[in-house]
Amino acid sequence: MQFVHETNRLEGYTYCIRTFGCQMNKHDSERVAGMLDMLGAYTVETPEEADIVVYMTCCVREAADVRLYGQVASLKNVPAPKGRRIVAIGGCIGQRDGEMLTEKLENADIVFGTHNISHLPDLILSSLEHGTRAVEVLEKSDDFPTDLPSQREFPWHAWVPIAIGCDNFCSYCIVPYVRGREKSRPFEEIISELGRLATEGVHEVTLLGQNVNSYGRDLYGEPRFAQILEAAGNSGIERIRFATSHPKDLSIATIDAMATIGNVMPQLHLPVQSGSDRILQAMNRKYTAKQYLELIDSVRDRVGDIALSTDIIVGFPGETEEDFLATLRLCEEVAYSQAFTFIYSKREGTPAAKIIDDTPHEVIQERFDRLVSVIQASAYEQNQAEKNTVQRILVEGVSKRDSAILSGRTPKNQMVHAPLSAHHTIADLVGTFVDVRIDVAKTWYLSGTIVGS
Ligand code: SAH
Ligand code: SF4
Ligand code: F3S
């Protein structure tokens, strides 16, 4: 699919994209930005300043749904620079709710799905021209949507989708229903994109999929993720990361590839969800806590020093104190560097939504708080090991709190802050590699001093 358009049809128009949810959405947003830029529109900071507002939405938990409705409704009486504002809703809520969104939100002009972002410019142009509203959601797409222009958030970092959709049907999760079945992108296409990105000066790539470990199964009859890592290792891109891995599909070949390919970063996000076998089974995760821990052992044995992170759901229907304690124990044993912790959110249409549970919210909240402190303790502990080491960081920008302090990330993806020295400006350093001696290690970041030139 090639994006062909007259280039100036949105000249003078301003746009703003608000992105919720996972990296897949962030990547889709970069594509929407790429297309709107090509048509001559330019980006502004806030929806209030924009003629065109695009929401890339997420419906994995209820909170994200609620936030969208609030934000769209709040724009209703705010005039747009050119008079009429176009509000377009895409992403997973667009895909899931379609028509219903225009019924519920009177200022939603366009609803589009996850399979047809390439049509958004036409929908916007026709809405501007004829004042019409449009809903276009496709059940699925036959193409892997790749050849769209992309306006990357950071010129030195790129998201590279290798597969879309998900076949796993974890019992709590809505993603397979909205994003559809897993569809891998042809191997050669991924490799040629990596080569092109390397020549464009990209230093870091994150390979994306709901379950990257099963990459290729639909196309080649067997997973080929380890081969993707090998090829990525030869692409000339300095840092390769990937997300997300399902434990049931993380193969020894992949772990070996991580161990032997120098530019595959020592970082692994391996969502466990729960440490209780009973709950794991009810979640349809297809592994036990013991199997998960064995996997962690073989990762640490083969790769050595590595940052491990995870996703955990607290309060899955039927979770008891005992189940929860199993989760806490597992977290203590693994000693994660980071964890994304979520309170279970009921999603209509998923099997778990049918399970009745009357555990009071306070009990779940209290478990959640205990889990967060266990994670904080291990994150702090893991960071201590970096003290007095020299870390090569890829500079992302300045610290949010102080523009004289640069921030960047280590190979293990830890955030590092370091004061800019007198002979450097941030403009010189952003997107480059800098060595920093780590003096201080906190729970969520490290700080230190730039060494060398
Ligand atoms: N495909 C990825 C993650 C997709 S969603 C994976 O399997 O790892 C990201 C995370 O959201 C999940 O890992 C899970 O922890 C959380 N999540 C998904 N559905 C949820 C729900 N109904 N309630 C709470 N958290 C949920
Ligand atoms: Fe959802 Fe499970 Fe698929 Fe992840 S693997 S997207 S949690 S169904
Ligand atoms: Fe959310 Fe859709 Fe991603 S539901 S987590 S944006 S796949």
Identify which of 175, 181, 211, 269 to mutate to test ligand 3's pocket (most ligand atoms within 8 A of the CB). 175
Cα–Cα distance measured from residue 256 to residue 247, given in angstroms and rounded to the nearest whole number: 15
- Listing DSSP states for 310-378 in one string gives EEEEE--TT--HHHHHHHHHHHHHHT-SEEEEEE----TTSGGGGS-----HHHHHHHHHHHHHHHHHH
How many whole angstroms from 60 Cα to the centroid of ligand 3? 6
Cα–Cα distance measured from residue 62 to residue 345, given in angstroms and rounded to the nearest whole number: 6
The encoded tokens of residue 410 equal: 């280590």
How many whole angstroms from 58 Cα to the centroid of ligand 3? 5
Distance of CA 433 to the CA centre of its chain: 23
Distance of CA 28 to the CA centre of its chain: 11
Fold of 390-451: OB fold (Dihydrolipoamide Acetyltransferase, E2P) (2.40.50)
- The CATH 2.40.50.140 domain(s) of the chain lie at 390-451
> How big, in percent rounded to 5, are the helix, strand and coil portions of the chain?
40, 20, 40
Cα–Cα distance measured from residue 277 to residue 49, given in angstroms and rounded to the nearest whole number: 51
Phi-psi region of 235 (alpha: psi -120 to 50; beta: other; left: phi over 0): alpha
Are 262 and 151 in contact by the 8 Å Cβ rule? The answer is: no
Nearest by Cα to 90 from 54, 61, 62: 54
How many whole angstroms from 223 Cα to the centroid of ligand 3? 23
246 lines ligand 2 (CB under 6 A): yes
Are 235 and 194 in contact by the 8 Å Cβ rule? The answer is: yes
Per-residue confidence (pLDDT) for residue 7, from 0 to 100 = 75
The domain over range 14-136 is classified in CATH as 1.10.579.10: no
* Ligand 2 atom closest to Cα of residue 210: 6
The encoded tokens of residue 436 equal: 């920093």
Cα–Cα distance measured from residue 378 to residue 382, given in angstroms and rounded to the nearest whole number: 6
Burial of 386 (0-12, 13-18, 19+ CB in 10 A): buried
Are 145 and 192 in contact by the 8 Å Cβ rule? The answer is: no
Per-residue confidence (pLDDT) for residue 4, from 0 to 100 = 65
- The CATH 3.40.50.12160 domain(s) of the chain lie at 14-136
Instruction: Considering the domain delimited by 153-384, tell me its CATH architecture.
Output: Alpha-Beta Horseshoe (3.80)
Burial of 401 (0-12, 13-18, 19+ CB in 10 A): exposed
- The CATH 3.80.30.20 domain(s) of the chain lie at 153-384
C-alpha distance across the termini of the chain, in Å:
45
Are 413 and 269 in contact by the 8 Å Cβ rule? The answer is: no
As averages over each run of 10 residues, the pLDDT of the chain (453 residues) reads: 72 96 94 94 96 97 92 92 94 95 95 93 94 91 74 92 95 96 95 95 96 96 96 96 96 97 97 98 98 98 97 98 98 98 97 96 98 98 97 93 93 97 87 97 97 79
* Ligand 2 atom closest to Cα of residue 179: 6
Are 3 and 31 in contact by the 8 Å Cβ rule? The answer is: no
Give residue ranges with CB within 6 A of ligand 3. Answer: 21-22, 24-25, 58-60, 91-92, 175, 178-179
173 lines ligand 2 (CB under 6 A): yes
Half-sphere exposure of 394 (CA within 13 A, CB side): 19
Helical ranges in 235-288 per DSSP H: 252-260, 277-282
Cα–Cα distance measured from residue 81 to residue 52, given in angstroms and rounded to the nearest whole number: 10
Cα–Cα distance measured from residue 175 to residue 121, given in angstroms and rounded to the nearest whole number: 26
Phi-psi region of 221 (alpha: psi -120 to 50; beta: other; left: phi over 0): left
Are 319 and 279 in contact by the 8 Å Cβ rule? The answer is: yes
Per-residue confidence (pLDDT) for residue 2, from 0 to 100 = 55
| Cα–Cα distance list, 276 to 120, 172, 279 (Å) | 44, 15, 5
Residue 145's contacts (CB-CB under 8 Å, 6 or more residues apart) are: 1, 31, 115, 117, 118
The encoded tokens of residue 42 equal: 């330019």
